[in-house]
A and B are shown apart, each in its own frame.
Chain A
């Protein structure tokens, strides 16, 4: 045991090279917020901690768990059933339905929440519609955990839908035919073969849903449901206790790790499920639904499309048309440009960092360079509020250090800096860019780069002549994915946005927060249009069999 440890240590030291040094510096810089939370937690509890622990934490925990369970069940039901229908049945407009089921991803959960309030609130579209038809329709109250589950479920089910759709698509016709030859019905084939084989992918999608539920701030705050994330904001903003906010963040990190560990454990056991899929050949055959089955299919497809896309879009469009006269201004255009600019900049930064990490791990002999990307990718599963608090913790330390050591007052500059917001976005979304590029890099393999070396080229020349041209497609996808996430992002922007920077997501949020929800329609619609367009362009790539 000791001998093996010594051998590993020796080989680690021996393999240390300049690439390892570069990768270590970059990873340390990117991973600083995470480190700050850890170090912050070591400083002890804050003044309000006892109050938070006794009166607030149980509620946060209970509500967060309720939201996780409820949203998981709803997204599982909608995502898996709709994915199964478009994968195993042939009907008119199937390909259009595939796209429409994917598009609710363009609507951030807080905007979905505003739209549903507009539909079902007092004096909302639902009541008005009833009145115009001479009906006294009952008011539907959504401002509670169940309403929030409905809203989160509708905006997040595409994560499960996409994972399940790809998994069902990868099932070959030979599996299906074997099952039928052995006497299985369509239903029992789904229950005993298709669903178990797709379950690792479905659970993977569900994990993303849970992370998004924990990340949500805007919808929960609007519906008045106290969760961990709203709690972190509240403890820092209203109780003015950063240390207790850090402690809440630590608990949330622990929860995220437990969930991640459970997901990994399950995936590990089920990893056999997708082995050999490439050899399985053709996609499974689609049946033609008839009679009652046809109606059921129609219901399964139309429910999420209507509730998750058509209704909220109709409400937002109605508001946008109502307010366009007052709202269409240079200021809104400038806000849109700032949103696009911020999202594009962070996407470019994420691409550069991803290429650097891939490049370092390619040429370094040290195994540590392959561990770093996994460590810095942790930002994606960290709710924005935690990252925000981590960065504020680090900045606080920096400000105190300069103030006490050098008598420099730098607070006004660092807290109100665009650079800090971009840095936070980078930490949060690096994994989104790194994932597709790394996957393509693995698919291409090491041999092309090694051939380039054997032909006398230096690593940098290989990067520009071989790696970048071959990874361009996946880099474009990665750019679009980071752009989409950064456009939709809210909690981090709320915590770290400089005073003079405004984004579409912030504008929509602020209007809704000021009880001017109609005014939120136009900025929300602009945001959804850009994100939806990009998602539509990415659809084939995200739903491809590979």
Chain B
């Protein structure tokens, strides 16, 4: 069963002269982790905003759980899509504490218990009264994730979730996000310009360029048999880097880690 499906999805911001997203066909099976990979300006964020219901498409449609959620004539409000989204800058409300941020969308009666539960899931127990500016980048991101999870979405959308973090924290958080997604049995769609993020946690990859999908499929399949020169080149560069590290440090280095 596909939790998300788009067909011939298009969006333009300048009256049809240029398209940010053009004729995108793509599906995400339930429970899978999928990464949309592409350079800046390739239309990844627009695609995600279309899925979240923050933009109206010019053409095509988006189906969530098999039902039409967006089309040029029909828009299901974003509150009713049963999905959660974490923005690139986390979009935490700066005037609210961690607990107030997480409880923002919750009914007051259930808020306290749910906040404690989620703080435990993101391993930030005791941070209830901190304000966002008092947290590190990684902690802020976890709070944003917890806030999104508070409404029990089935589909999680993450916009460049690891972009602003340093390399060490990045690796740690990727695994953390994956652990939470698996633990809560969610489907995850995230966008990244870094192929390493994608390879580390995604089951499926979608490559975008100039608003179009140029290749998509299961990770291993794509890696073994890339069709487009862009995807082949991306994987080759990554493999080249790995080879260089192995040449420099030897196979034993991997085992020491």
Q: Which residue of B lies closest to A12 (CB)?
A: B15
Interface pair B16/A451, CB less than 8 Å apart: no
A136 to B64, CA, bound (A): 92
A456 touches B95 (CB 8 A): no
With A14-B72, A365-B56, A454-B52 given, is the CB distance from A4 to B15 under 8 Å? yes
- Bound-state Cα–Cα, A294 to B178, Å: 66
A305 to B252, CA, bound (A): 76
Closest chain A residue to B80 by CB distance?
Answer: A456
The answer to whether the Cβ of B180 comes within 8 Å of any Cβ in the partner chain is no
Q: Contact: A447 with B72, CB < 8 Å?
A: no
Chain A residues closer than 8 Å to B211, beta-carbon distance: none
Decide yes or no: A456 and B15 within 8 Å by CB, A447-B87, A448-B93, A466-B93 being known contacts. Answer: no
B84 & A454 in contact (Cβ 8 Å cutoff): yes
Given A450-B54, A456-B105, A470-B94, 14 additional A-B pairs, CB 8 A: A3-B16, A4-B15, A7-B15, A14-B56, A451-B85, A451-B93, A453-B77, A454-B79, A454-B84, A455-B104, A456-B79, A457-B79, A465-B104, A470-B95
Q: Determine whether A469 belongs to the interface, using a CB cutoff of 8 Å to chain B.
A: yes
A455 engages B56 (CB within 8 Å): no
Does B199 lie at the interface of the complex (its beta carbon under 8 Å from any beta carbon of A)? no
Complex interface: chain B residues within 8 A of A454 (CB): 52, 78-79, 83-85, 148
Whether A447 lies near B89 (C-beta < 8 A) is yes
Report the separation of the CA atoms of residues A72 and B17 in the bound assembly, to the nearest whole angstrom: 43
Closest partner residue, chain A, to B75 (CB atom)? A365
Residue numbers in A under 8 Å from B95 (CB-CB): 469-470
Q: Which of A365, A447, A452, A470 interacts with B104 by CB under 8 Å?
A: A452
- B residues lining the A interface (CB < 8 Å): 15-17, 52, 54, 56, 58, 72-73, 77-79, 83-85, 87, 89, 91, 93-95, 104-105, 147-148, 150-151
Interchain CB contact under 8 A, B150 and A8: no
A112-154 interface (Cβ within 8 A of B): none
A binding-site residues for B, Cβ under 8 Å: 3-4, 7-8, 11, 14-15, 365, 445, 447-448, 450-457, 465-466, 469-470
CB of B87 within 8 A of CB of A450, answer yes
Output the nearest chain B residue to A472 by Cβ-Cβ distance: B95
Q: Which residue of B lies closest to A457 (CB)?
A: B105
Cβ contact within 8 Å between B16 and A448: no
CA separation between A7 and B18, bound complex, in Å?
A: 13
Taking A11-B15, A365-B56, A450-B54 as contacts, is the C-beta distance between A455 and B105 under 8 angstroms? Answer: yes
Task: Select the residue from B56, B79, B150 with max chain A CB neighbours within 10 A.
Answer: B79
A148 to B41, CA, bound (A): 55
Which residues in B have their C-beta under 8 angstroms from that of A3? 16
In the complex, the answer to whether A456 meets B151 with C-beta atoms within 8 Å is yes
Q: Which residues of A contact B73 (CB under 8 A)?
A: 14
Interface centre among A14, A15, A447, A454 (most CB of B within 10 A): A454
- Cα distance A452–B58 when bound, in Å? 25
Q: Is the CB of A7 within 8 A of B16?
A: yes
Q: Are A453 and B79 in contact (CB under 8 A)?
A: yes
**Nearest Cβ on chain A to B93's Cβ, whole angstroms:** 6
A contact residues around B15 at 8 Å (CB): 4, 7-8, 11
Are A455 and B151 also in contact (CB < 8 A) when A4-B16, A14-B72, A365-B56 are?
Answer: yes
Q: Which residue of B lies closest to A446 (CB)?
A: B54
| B197–chain A nearest beta-carbon distance, Å | 21
Contacts A/B (CB < 8 Å), 11 sampled: A15-B56, A450-B52, A450-B78, A450-B87, A450-B91, A452-B104, A454-B52, A454-B85, A455-B79, A456-B105, A457-B104
* A448 (CB) vs chain B CBs: closest residue: B91
Cα of A14 to Cα of B16 in the assembled complex, Å:
14
Contacts of B56 in A (CB 8 A): 14-15, 365
Nearest CB of chain A from residue B199's CB, rounded to whole Å: 28
Contact (Cβ within 8 A) B91 A455: no
Closest to A451 in B: B91
- A456 — which chain B residues lie within 8 A by C-beta? 79, 105, 151
Instruction: Give the one of A448, A452, A455, A470 with max B CB within 10 A.
Output: A455
Complex Cα distance, B146 from A393, in Å, reads 59
Tell me whether A447 and B91 are in contact in the complex, defined as CB-CB below 8 angstroms, given that A453-B79, A454-B84 are known contacts: yes
